[in-house]
Structure 1
Amino acid sequence: MAKAVGIDLGTTNSVIATLDGGQAQVVPNAEGSRTTPSAVGFTEEGERLVGQSARRQAILNPQGTVYSAKRFVGRRSAEVSQEARAVTFDVAPGTDGAARLRVRGRLHPPEEISAMILRKLADDAGRFLGERVDQAVITVPAYFNDAQRTATRDAGRIAGLEVLRIINEPTAAALAYGLDKRQHETVLVFDLGGGTFDVSILDVGEGVVEVRATAGDTHLGGDDFDRRLVDHLAGEFLREEGIDPRDDPQALQRLFEAAEKAKVELSAVDQTQVSLPFVAAGAGGPKHLNATVTRSTFEQITADLVERCQSPVRQAMSDARITDRDLDEVLLVGGSTRMPAVRDLVRRLTGKEPNMTVNPDEVVAMGAAVQAAVLTGQGPDVLLLDVIPLSLGLETLGGVMIRTVDRNTTIPLRRAEVFSTADDNQCAVDVVVLQGERERAADNRVLGRFRLEDIRPAPRGEPQIEVTFDVDANGILNLSTRDGETGVRQTITITGTGNLDRSDVERMIAEAEWYREERGGRARRPLHAELSGP
């Protein structure tokens, strides 16, 4: 019998859970840990390591170890310059401009790396549960756009999983929290993970979890706090020794690991010691980095990152038309919410003491497990009503975006808009699909482009072209058109989103299956055609 699970595919760590006896339970991995590092290592011998084994060898193999792949999923290379600074491997554009991760001479799509992590989680869970795992609900940040959601679904497919649903991480957390609630509560979920920040306002209780509003910042996460501490430590070392350890990939990897450890320790103590022996070599011999980092120093160099959390919280509360007096609970999700400065900000913004009863590292996967059980008929009777995080529309004459679907509209949904031609006897139109909140089309995210042809020659404004937006329960967009004169409908395939072609997905599915069957996931890479790139 196949088992449906919930997976929190995280930037730093990932978690898998299942519903057992009506209770969501985290499933430990093969190493016995409840969390799995979201890292993949490629060795010189051609082996592939996933999880803790990849993290252990990262210092000696900094450019062959991929981590934080979630920050690059569904994005173009031009969009991730900030994120690329926080990793030790190379990030390069593919032929379509999408972000690709260069490892040992090969360009890997981030979806492929995510699929390797998903497959390990599913395989480990299958061995623990004694039954195969091939169905999953996978969570994504609430503020992920259409391209990022589609890319996450593709990662699940490449991993050999049937993706039952893509749901938002704050929604999953609220679902786990509200499973036993009999009375109505208004809950704010503050989700600061390794790579993204989300805030959602939800109504929970009586078997219903309804999202009222969501906001966020997909360029803000714990990785950015780590980078600030890395730059601080490296800057001090440069001033003292005249050597920048960031120029050496191995030293930089050691700095990142030390910075993450120091960040975690500073959540519990006022100061911590960072010691990195033999971090560099100079004319006088080896150089060692020894520094004391205080919590006040760390909070000072990251103060602007904490303050960036304010705007999404206020936006979500404004969109939900509530004040802090209307909130019953505030849930903290994501390991980065353990930082005292973040918790102080939450208290200041909401006037509430954050709820500490949920495990911020595990609650998202547990909520996804509840939803997986609901979808397969094995769980409680719970109705989940999520929303689309960003508005959808089309570019019209003059470079203006016409909104067809407003943000925070409940999904699934269908909206139709009628357009016409701009010139006399125009037989074709180029349609640009946009996602965002700005009036000027160029300021929004281009989801894709398509061309409508064979329009009947007529004076401008006369042809009636109905464009229908369908957003499914995963928050993924599908488009169709109808000719107002002939009634002929056409399903549109959007191109240019930065996602993988179907042939690329099928190729990677076959390659992933080869790894599983031949070498149990530790095989040498087979000779398959690869994505083209520089």
Structure 2
Amino acid sequence: MSVGFDFGTTNSLVSVVVGDRVIDVMDVETGRPHPSVVRYEGEEVIVGREAKDALGAAGIGVHGNTVKSPKFLLGEEVIAVGGVDRSPVDIVSDVVRYVRTESLRSPQRNVLGDLDNAVVTIPVIMNGLRRAALREAFAGAGMNVVQFVHEPLAALYGFIRGAKDPEEMARRLARRNVLVVDWGGGTLDLTLCRVDDNQIRQLRNGGSDQVGGDEFDKVILDEVVTRFRAREGVSESDLASPEAQLRLLQDAERNKIELSADRVAVTFYRPSYFQSGGTLQYQLTRQELEEITRPLVSAGIAEIKSLLASLSMAPGQVSLVVVVGGMAAMPVIRSRLHELFGPDRVEVPPNSATLISQGAAWIAHDRARLRLAKPIELELARGSRMPLLLAGTEMPMGGEVKSERVHLFCADPTDGIAKFPIATPTRLAAHPQASAHRTSLGIVTIKVDDTAPPLHERLELEVVLDDDLVLSLRASSSRRQDEATSQYYDLEFGLGLPNGADPRVDQDPKESDEVGVRLAPGLVVRANVTRDKDLSAVPGDVLYKHNTSAFARHLENRPDGATQSQVLERLYYQPCSVCGRVWGHPQCRCGTVGNGKR
């Protein structure tokens, strides 16, 4: 069987569905998720609560032996921990292994099976390299990642499936926009979704790794020390030792949580905090906490506004805001969300701290499979588009890869570069209209033979979808034998709810109108690849260079003759035959366009 596994920046836990309810497998001693903290003492590896508790009492050098929030280290080759070079993959494996072992010792062990398969949640901003490293870390701990799922998407799935009446909840949210705000210890993850036809589809993802709870803790620590120094006249040269700072950082996290609950003031107290032996003692009020953290909260709210602005959507078009993650407990964050969306549309579920893991567990239980929410398209010459992947395409599961090869031609090799603009419709639509707005994913470019005639150089584009939810493209040219690769991980997905309709069903166009964008004018890349040997795809100026006879008047309206668009394109780049100025020059008064002198 598969379970849900939320490997968080600050905490991790496993959840499993039994019958019609979800069970969270917590730390037996505290009843809370396992801290994502690792401490190395010689050959001994200490993980979780014991490693975190040791931070508050250990002596000199413990900071160098302890790793907090190892998730952020994924993607690095090696880091030094206590003077020993360690792989971040191995460090993460230690955390996963510990959570797995402790879960199999828990009272819920009888319903967990072997705990060797899991649906694992990831931040939306986690890149492909880090996803691959996380998969490797799970494998090192004896667990197979069945499927990665974005954390906010898992939270919304769990919000609906875990409701007392899931069908009623799905009807309540039908044809509505739902924003999930996952404000955790490491990242702020945002997903704007639409619930339609018993399925959840992402419209746009966003977020930041600069405003997570860990950043709040650092800011609180710095400000408390600064204010204490100013009040007591402690010199800046009287530094604190690294281990003392680490202990105070733990205090900052704990006091932040207490002030977010029912306390109106807390006291920071650390004897011998300074190298001179001086004690740090400072009372922090909730009002001061909000003042200190206001810039971080404002930066997070700005990320939310930016996400909505990217879709030209007003806050009033969001019907529900589901807030999860540890930072959801901060009153100031809730207050700012209420100001933006209205208190009636902001919901912090009572299980917000575990909803992501629960959602992953429901996805595992329902065997729900991620699908592309929008098609992926290649822009061709003359503004046409070729679907590379259709909306509703199933994403590969653990160990699977999907691959396609597309054969193309270069319609305009003049500058020696073939351009492959990759885009996706901004609106939800399985079969978008040609006029529908697109969001650019990027452009792949390769070198081509600039001396070759149009449509002579063959191009190949390989399209690969892997189980890390990454789209990889590899383009190559036949004559120049150049190749280039590119990866895209910022994709949108959909999940069908149980007994839902076919996820590939198109959206009601009247509904999709709510999710449009306004495009600013600017420069665009002129795509120069085409699927067929179609002479009309060649720009007029390029065609004239290689085949002047195509512009002969007797070939007008014939397959081997230039089209009217190509004639105009060729004229556009020709100077005025009278004054020599370029096309459209304001001082050209020769009237030559109409009489054919250009």
Larger Rg: 2
CA shift for structure 1 position 373: 1.9
Q: State the TM-score, normalizing by the size of structure 2.
A: 0.63
CA shift for structure 1 position 245: 7.2
Distance in 1 of aligned mates of 2:411 and 2:91: 43
CA shift for structure 1 position 33: 3.1
Q: Tell me, what secondary structure is at the counterpart of 1:269?
A: coil
Structure-2 residue corresponding to 1:311: 302
**Runs (5+) with no aligned partner, structure 2:** 380-384, 396-402, 424-439, 490-598
CA shift for structure 1 position 482: 6.2
Pick aligned residue for 2:84 from 106, 109, 115? 106
Q: Deviations over 1:148-173 (max 9, x none)?
A: 32222222222221111111010000
Matched, 1:329 2:329: no
Contact (CA 8 Å) 2:240, 2:273: kept in 1 or not? no
Structure-2 residue corresponding to 1:175: 157
Partner amino acid, structure 1, of 2:171? Q
Pick aligned residue for 1:273 from 222, 243, 267? 267
Structure-2 residue corresponding to 1:367: 359
Distance in 2 of aligned mates of 1:336 and 1:148: 24
Q: Deviations over 1:305-347 (max 9, x none)?
A: 1111223322333455543333332111110121111111111
Partner amino acid, structure 1, of 2:51? A
Distance in 2 of aligned mates of 1:137 and 1:360: 19
Q: Tell me, what secondary structure is at the counterpart of 1:153?
A: helix
Change (3 A) 1:493 1:327: closer
Pick aligned residue for 2:98 from 99, 120, 131? 120
Matched, 1:14 2:7: no
Structure-2 residue corresponding to 1:50: 47
For residues 173-252 of structure 1, what are the structure 2 equivalents within 5 Å? 173-179=155-161, 180=166, 181-185=169-173, 186=176, 187-204=178-195, 207-239=198-230, 240-242=233-235, 247-252=240-245
Partner amino acid, structure 2, of 1:5? V
Distance in 1 of aligned mates of 2:453 and 2:291: 59
Contact (CA 8 Å) 2:47, 2:94: kept in 1 or not? yes
Q: Deviations over 1:454-481 (max 9, x none)?
A: x999638752323234334642233445
Change (3 A) 1:111 1:477: farther
How many residues were matched structurally? Answer: 435
Q: Tell me, what secondary structure is at the counterpart of 2:201?
A: strand
Contact (CA 8 Å) 1:234, 1:245: kept in 2 or not? no
Structure-1 residue corresponding to 2:558: none
Contact (CA 8 Å) 2:474, 2:486: kept in 1 or not? no
Change (3 A) 1:485 1:281: closer
Distance in 1 of aligned mates of 2:219 and 2:227: 12
Partner amino acid, structure 2, of 1:50? V
Change (3 A) 1:321 1:432: closer
Change (3 A) 1:24 1:63: same
Distance in 1 of aligned mates of 2:468 and 2:172: 25
Pick aligned residue for 1:257 from 238, 250, 260? 250
Partner amino acid, structure 1, of 2:271? P
Pick aligned residue for 1:35 from 11, 33, 36? 33
Partner amino acid, structure 1, of 2:32? R
Distance in 2 of aligned mates of 1:245 and 1:385: 57
Distance in 2 of aligned mates of 1:247 and 1:144: 34
Partner amino acid, structure 1, of 2:19? G
Partner amino acid, structure 2, of 1:161? M
Matched, 1:467 2:461: yes
Matched, 1:165 2:143: no
Distance in 2 of aligned mates of 1:420 and 1:71: 42
Counting strand residues as a fraction of each chain, which structure ranks higher?
1
Q: Deviations over 1:199-242 (max 9, x none)?
A: 11122366422212211112320011111111112223444322
Structure-1 residue corresponding to 2:67: 66
Structure-1 residue corresponding to 2:429: none
CA shift for structure 1 position 279: 1.4
Q: Tell me, what secondary structure is at the counterpart of 1:348?
A: helix
Contact (CA 8 Å) 1:425, 1:459: kept in 2 or not? no
Q: CA RMSD in A?
A: 4.2
Partner amino acid, structure 2, of 1:13? N
For residues 355-504 of structure 1, what are the structure 2 equivalents within 5 Å? 355-375=347-367, 384-385=370-371, 459=452, 462-472=456-466, 474-481=468-475
**Runs (5+) with no aligned partner, structure 1:** 75-97, 376-381, 395-402, 435-443, 498-534
Change (3 A) 1:432 1:255: farther
Change (3 A) 1:264 1:467: same
Contact (CA 8 Å) 2:410, 2:418: kept in 1 or not? no
Distance in 1 of aligned mates of 2:409 and 2:218: 47
Structure-2 residue corresponding to 1:137: 119
Q: State the TM-score, normalizing by the size of structure 1.
A: 0.70
Q: Tell me, what secondary structure is at the counterpart of 2:469?
A: coil
Between 1:223-232 and 1:457-466, the stretch displaced more is 457-466
Contact (CA 8 Å) 1:8, 1:138: kept in 2 or not? yes
Distance in 2 of aligned mates of 1:245 and 1:387: 56
